Amino acid sequence: MKETEVTESWNHIFIFVVHPIIIIIVFLYSINLTICDSISAPSDTILLDCGSSGESSYNGARWIGDIGSSFLLPKYSKSSSTLSVLNQYHKRVPKIPYSTTRIIHSPLNYTFSFTRSLKFIRIYFLSASYLNMNPSKAYFSVKAGCYTLLSSFSPFVASQELNLAYFTKDFLVNVVEEKLNITIIPSSLISNAFAFVNGIEIFSVPSTIYFPVSNFHVPYLGHQELNISDHQYALEMLYRVSIHEVENVFGAWVEDSGYLYSSLHGSVLDSRIRPLSITYNTSTSFDFNYSAPEELYWIARTMGSNQDANMEYNLTWSFPVDSGFKYLVRLHFCEISMEVTKVNQRVFKVYINNQTAEERMDLVALVGAPFVAFYKDYVVMVPRESERRRNMSIALHPNIASKPKFADAILNGIEIIKLSDSNFNLAVSFPLKEEHQKKKRKAPLVIVLACTSAVAFALFIAIYVLIHQSCKKQNRENLQVLSLNATRENYKNMQVKMTSGHQCYQFTLAEINIATDNFKEDQVIGEGGFGKVYKGIINDGVTPCAIKRCKKGSHQGFKEFQNEISFFTFCHLNVVSLIGFCQEENELILVYEYMANGSLCDHLYKKQNQPLSWNQRLKICVGAARGLHYLHTGTRQSIIHRDIKSANILLDHHLVPKISDFGLSRIIPFSSHTHVTTEVKGTFGYLDPEYYKRRKLTEKSDVYSFGVVLFEVLCGRPAVKRVEVEEQSEKVGLAEWALHCHQCRSIEHLVDAKLEGKIRSDCLVAFVEIGIQCLSHRSVERPTMGDVLSKLEDILSLQESFEDQEITM
């Protein structure tokens, strides 16, 4: 009994006293190493443009052609050929190094002389049919020193998997000699295989970025313990994923949304609030250029504010990897929520490949404070299986065993790095399946050809053509399957999102075609940046609806489409309802209830409509204010519309106003009482000046825009108007004009000529007053939508009593 207690207390001493000291020592040591290494880094960069000659400058970098260079022995120049390719390709393909290539039919060596250090090696590939050779015959290995970087590698297959015509493969290799050979070997597994390479980039990097300093223990999700020491491994940098795009010396990190696997995607916590200062955990060495850039920690993905829903799912990312290798998984964390500042407020589990990597991840407890950036490494074995590719999953789930304040989880970035195996391989050779089948089918035909007549020869030709075509077709089908799956994935996400709200119907494209008479031009009722809006009839020709068709290929359109769908989980008389959507054959279509009277601006100045009475205008303002107040406060989270304007306030056949267009809307969690910082979006003339200057988005930005709408209603003129001032055309903002008139006590100049004599003077004063308050430069001085609403209701009842009097008189 006693003995165990003694050992336990020694354990405690180790954990709390000795361990931190070791960490600090290791840290100091690594800083030292990092500084030394980074000084030597830039001097030995090589950018080799394969298949070209001389030097060329591109995007600020100096590339050297491999023809006649010291890196390639003359004998290799003879056994390979070079080719220019770009003219067949899209303008978006970077000219260097992709416009030239070296085609290789027998093993070829590039030799580089170097200082010894850890090298980053990037190899550039553009999959194309070079010299009309079948791109699927490009099948080869690449070695760097004793390491096999690629084996049985098919750029054609890789480019299909990535859905990119050009791409790079990135490696880290510890070079222990003063030179490095990069050898490219066409595969012997298939006949007439060739190799090609478009470019090679090499530079030195600090040795500590991924290799922990000497035998540092890394948690290993497998059965045995694992020690990594720095020169037994070569690495392939497979995935560097962040929540928003960031960049470091190795290039851009990719947004995580393409790898999200769970049906729910949580929410993005954006805390680019200045002065937000992130500090760095001292137990991991940070070098912003080489490891994660600082911006990575500014934005995180959390599970979302619906804590009951969080308990029901794992926030999961999934990455295809090769089976039979170990991977270094580096997870980046930073607690950036204003609410989570103490221990036991956000505690979660981390699973990697369904194994528990962390049972109790409490960032504040782990690093001692919020706003501390931190990463943690895990080594994961993915066992060899019959399937070459497998998915590596990373999942987060709340741990509520100790009753933390929030049932939530948070993550800022993921890196997945493949480790070479004990035979210095980063890849194993895997024969292409189809190739074997092809050979089998061809062999008997060749025999027939050899021993019989020209009839058989003709037969051979015929069958060959058939096979060839069917292969081509199969390839096309494979591509289709790929894109179909992607669409299905999108459907799945949307459907899950929508089940939480009211019923939303998924239309087929055929139904939409019928509803709009094949998108007939005379059915167009509106047009915007996203595309056209058509009037349609659904439900067997009874219910009118508005059908918004996003422009094809617009990335912005797709984002706004998703946004619209995810925001339509609420239902209010003064908010336009979404009836359904359609996503088919590259079409993104939203179907809304039909608003017979079009937009508010049509009635104020845009079209020759019967002018609205002051009473009608007040009622519209009250209704719109109700809708906006509901968005700000009536749902679980506060929704900021971000694009309030008279064109987005629609009127039904009874002139009931409804707020529409949620393409730019953002959610702000209630409890946070903060704002989000974002890119400035909205419409000129309605844009909150404070939001514009500081990118600080709050509900008050909508209040400002609503103030502009109030003056549009009063003045009957647009938010921005061209006026002739001393023979010059100038754009004058309605907001400034209103403020000017208010200051000069000449508010009667603001009144629409059509309303003259129709407005009670105390109503006018009160209306201008609330409008001016909405336009306050400082957001804190603006009223809330609730205040605006009750003020407008008072003005309306005052006006109504006035009109009643008029009638009785």
Does the footprint of ligand NAG cover residue 346 (CB under 6 A)?
no
Give the binding range for ligand NAG (CB under 6 A) out of 107-115, 389-397, 669-677, 800-808.
389-397
Q: Is the dihedral of CA 272, 276, 277, 278 positive or negative?
A: negative
Does the footprint of ligand NAG cover residue 313 (CB under 6 A)?
yes
Rounded to 5 degrees, what are φ and ψ at 328? Answer: -95, 120
Q: Which of 377, 197, 406, 369 is nearest to 291 (CA)?
A: 377
Q: What is the 3-state secondary structure (H, E, C) of 645-707?
A: CHHHEEECCCCCEEECCCCCCEEECHHHCCCEECCCCCCCCCCCHHHHHHCEECHHHHHHHHH
Give the binding range for ligand NAG (CB under 6 A) out of 348-356, 410-418, 486-494, 511-519.
348-356
Torsion of the alpha carbons at 421, 160, 94 and 239, rounded to the nearest 10 = -40
Give the binding range for ligand NAG (CB under 6 A) out of 53-61, 390-398, 758-766, 780-788.
390-398
Task: Yes or no: say if 66 and 110 are a contact pair by the CB < 8 Å rule.
Answer: yes
SS3 (DSSP) at 124: strand
- Work out how close the CB of 318 gets to ligand NAG at its nearest, in angstroms, rounded to a whole number: 9
Q: In whole angstroms, what is the distance from residue 201 CA to residue 119 CA?
A: 10
Exactly one of 246, 395, 494, 545 binds ligand NAG (CB under 6 A); that residue is 395
SS3 (DSSP) at 318: strand
Is there a binding annotation on residue 169? no
Any idea which residue has 């939480």 for tokens? 500
Each residue 268-307 as x (binds ligand NAG by CB under 6 A) or -, in order, gives ----------------------------------------
Does the footprint of ligand NAG cover residue 354 (CB under 6 A)?
yes
CB nearer to ligand NAG: give 354 or 728: 354
- Work out how close the CB of 409 gets to ligand NAG at its nearest, in angstroms, rounded to a whole number: 11
Q: In whole angstroms, what is the distance from residue 634 CA to residue 639 CA?
A: 9
SS3 (DSSP) at 283: coil
Give the binding range for ligand NAG (CB under 6 A) out of 20-28, 325-333, 334-342, 347-355.
347-355
CB nearer to ligand NAG: give 64 or 309: 309
Does the footprint of ligand NAG cover residue 737 (CB under 6 A)?
no
Q: In whole angstroms, what is the distance from residue 76 CA to residue 590 CA?
A: 59
The tokens of 663 are what? 């393409």
Q: What angle is formed at CA 697 by the lines to CA 645 and CA 704, rounded to 5 degrees?
A: 40
- Work out how close the CB of 329 gets to ligand NAG at its nearest, in angstroms, rounded to a whole number: 13
Residues 48-107 that bind ligand NAG (CB under 6 A): none
SS3 (DSSP) at 622: helix
Task: Yes or no: say if 642 and 682 are a contact pair by the CB < 8 Å rule.
Answer: yes
Q: In whole angstroms, what is the distance from residue 621 CA to residue 627 CA?
A: 10
Does the footprint of ligand NAG cover residue 353 (CB under 6 A)?
yes
DSSP symbol at 613: P
Q: Which of 136, 226, 718 is nearest to 431 (CA)?
A: 136
The tokens of 691 are what? 């939001």
Q: In whole angstroms, what is the distance from residue 122 CA to residue 143 CA?
A: 13
- Work out how close the CB of 354 gets to ligand NAG at its nearest, in angstroms, rounded to a whole number: 4
Task: Yes or no: say if 587 and 636 are a contact pair by the CB < 8 Å rule.
Answer: no
Give the binding range for ligand NAG (CB under 6 A) out of 148-156, 340-348, 349-357, 626-634.
349-357
Give the binding range for ligand NAG (CB under 6 A) out of 55-63, 76-84, 351-359, 719-727.
351-359
- Work out how close the CB of 349 gets to ligand NAG at its nearest, in angstroms, rounded to a whole number: 8
Does the footprint of ligand NAG cover residue 168 (CB under 6 A)?
no
Exactly one of 351, 460, 570, 802 binds ligand NAG (CB under 6 A); that residue is 351
Exactly one of 52, 198, 282, 314 binds ligand NAG (CB under 6 A); that residue is 314
Does the footprint of ligand NAG cover residue 397 (CB under 6 A)?
yes
The tokens of 551 are what? 């422009």
- Work out how close the CB of 764 gets to ligand NAG at its nearest, in angstroms, rounded to a whole number: 59
Rounded to 5 degrees, what are φ and ψ at 657? Answer: -80, 145
> What are the residue numbers of the active site?
643
The tokens of 208 are what? 């500590």
Cα distances from 350 to residues 339, 357, 397, in angstroms, run 21, 5, 7
CB nearer to ligand NAG: give 312 or 585: 312
Q: In whole angstroms, what is the distance from residue 52 CA to residue 59 CA?
A: 17
CB nearer to ligand NAG: give 331 or 622: 331
Region at 738 (left for phi over 0; alpha for psi -120 to 50; beta for the rest)? alpha
CB nearer to ligand NAG: give 350 or 622: 350
* Count of chain residues binding ligand NAG (CB under 6 A): 9
- Work out how close the CB of 393 gets to ligand NAG at its nearest, in angstroms, rounded to a whole number: 6
Which residues contact ligand NAG by CB under 6 A?
312-314, 351, 353-354, 393, 395, 397
Which residues participate in the annotated binding site for ATP?
A: 548
Which residues participate in the annotated binding site?
A: 548
